[in-house]
Structure 1
Amino acid sequence: MEVDFSNIKVIGFDADDTLWVNETYFREAEEKFASLLDGYETKNTIDQELFKMEMKNLGIYGYGIKGFVLSMIESALELSNNKVPQETMTEILDLGKNMISHPVELLEDVKEVLERLSKEYRLIVLTKGDLLDQERKLEKSGLSQYFHHVEVLSDKKEINYKNLLDHLEIEVTEFLMIGNSLKSDVLPIMNIGAQAVHVPFHTTWQHEEVSNDEYDDNHLTLNKLSDVLKYFN
């Protein structure tokens, strides 16, 4: 496809699994959670029930580790018929604390990309999740210096992007979003008239998957973040 970024003045970056590793730690926690409860149900059932609980609670807790931990606790109580031992509950809480305190692992060539693009473009972070956790990760990452603005959104739908761009006085035709999620970082951006680049991560949360009916290939897909530099002078 033909790519023209000549009008771009502002570039937005997703954070989790675009700048640094995130989903991997959720999958690891899910594996450990299933092991803690394997006396009550099969792993497949535990995984399914946890996901259902996350979806039920999403409107209450939002995205992020804290909501995930609360959903694990609630799932453990339901799956065990309220018989799960106190020691197991403590281990579930420790899973969440370990996720929050985990060192930030930058993805390949992130600093090089930001260093190059920040010299010519206004860069911003647009991410979902828990505000405190995302601020903590950004500080640990050492990337703050490259960004003019950081926004932690409750969700990434068309209206969220439109309201933010209006607030920051950014023209949609001058904005480019880069992220790993088609559902959150690409499709809603394209629907409001901006451009997007998809850089897939090897692991995708089930909630972020899109159906064939939703898929739109009118965007640039790259194997790694540094490949985007080929499209800028």
Structure 2
Amino acid sequence: MRRDGQVLVFDADDTLWENNVLFERVIENYLTWVQHPTLDRLQLRAVLNEVQAANAITHGYGSRMLVRSLGDCVEKLRGRPATGQELAEIEELAAALIDHRVELIPDVAETLAALAGRHTLLMLTKGNPEEQRRKIDASRLAHHFKAVSIVEEKDSETYRRFLAEHELAPETSWMIGNSPKSDILPARQVGMNAVFIPNDHTWVLEHTELDPSDGAVLHLRAFRELLDHF
């Protein structure tokens, strides 16, 4: 049964367009490049995950944080700061990520166009403001949204501020995204409904368990399935 007159709040990265798969390609090339006499790829990735988790707190998200983390990981693995040559090679590894065009997830443009005629659409995304704005502009989706908010973090306090800023009623508002940690759980903590659309390439640091008995979370397999419910 379709719900009419709802407020649909969309995540951006890995919900509207592919993002983390691009990061993963850079990381896979980096793991081949960095090498180590005793650590295998899984162990190297675990070290990098720790570095990224720490840097996300102090430096936010996005491609520049990843580049910083790749350099910091070299220092942690080799017990010395990365050399100028190593940093230049890291920049080269990440160049494709920084310059990559936005790749929309299948059916996103058509689905948003249909939903915009029946509902109020908003966007709530986290990351580096300049980088996120560039991706939003490149996506050519901005005209579907009444407002776009770019934030440093998406936690329950962010959602409380967002609801207040836009004068939204939680019971008719839905957060739609691929991240249990940033999209689903904090939205539910402030009384919003949520739609979980998994992405096989969701960043490992965004993973967490969802309560399968929570009836206010709609689980879909693909973006176009939103049209069956809204």
The whole-number CA distance in structure 2 between the counterparts of 1:190 and 1:223 is 20
The whole-number CA distance in structure 2 between the counterparts of 1:95 and 1:12 is 34
2:19 corresponds to 1:22: yes
Give 3-state SS (helix, strand or coil) of 2:221's partner: coil
Instruction: Give me the identity figure in percent.
Output: 31
Name 1:148's counterpart in structure 2.
146
Name 1:162's counterpart in structure 2.
160
Structure 2 unaligned runs (5+)? none
What's the offset of the Cα at 1:77?
1.8
For residues 88-103 of structure 1, the aligned pairs below 5 Å read: 88-103=86-101
After TM superposition, the runs of 4+ consecutive aligned structure 1 residues lying more than 6 A away are: none
Q: Deviations over 1:148-197 (max 9, x none)?
A: 11111211111101111101111112211111111211111112111111
2:9 corresponds to 1:12: yes
The whole-number CA distance in structure 1 between the counterparts of 2:82 and 2:182 is 35
Contact 2:72 2:81 in 1 (8 A): no
Q: Deviations over 1:19-44 (max 9, x none)?
A: 00011011111111111111454322
Q: 1:206 to 1:158 in 2, by over 3 A?
A: same
Name 1:33's counterpart in structure 2.
30
Give 3-state SS (helix, strand or coil) of 2:48's partner: helix
2:205 corresponds to 1:222: no
TM-score (normalised: structure 1): 0.91
Name 1:54's counterpart in structure 2.
52
9-18 or 82-91: bigger deviation: 82-91
Q: Deviations over 1:118-137 (max 9, x none)?
A: 11222111111111111000
2:189 corresponds to 1:207: no
38-47 or 190-199: bigger deviation: 38-47
For residues 112-123 of structure 1, the aligned pairs below 5 Å read: 112-123=110-121
Contact 1:106 1:141 in 2 (8 A): yes
Give 3-state SS (helix, strand or coil) of 1:152's partner: strand
Aligned residues: 227
Name 1:130's counterpart in structure 2.
128
Name 1:179's counterpart in structure 2.
177
Counterpart amino acid of 2:211? Answer: Y
CA RMSD of aligned residues (A): 1.7
The whole-number CA distance in structure 2 between the counterparts of 1:48 and 1:147 is 38
Name 1:194's counterpart in structure 2.
192
Give 3-state SS (helix, strand or coil) of 1:125's partner: strand
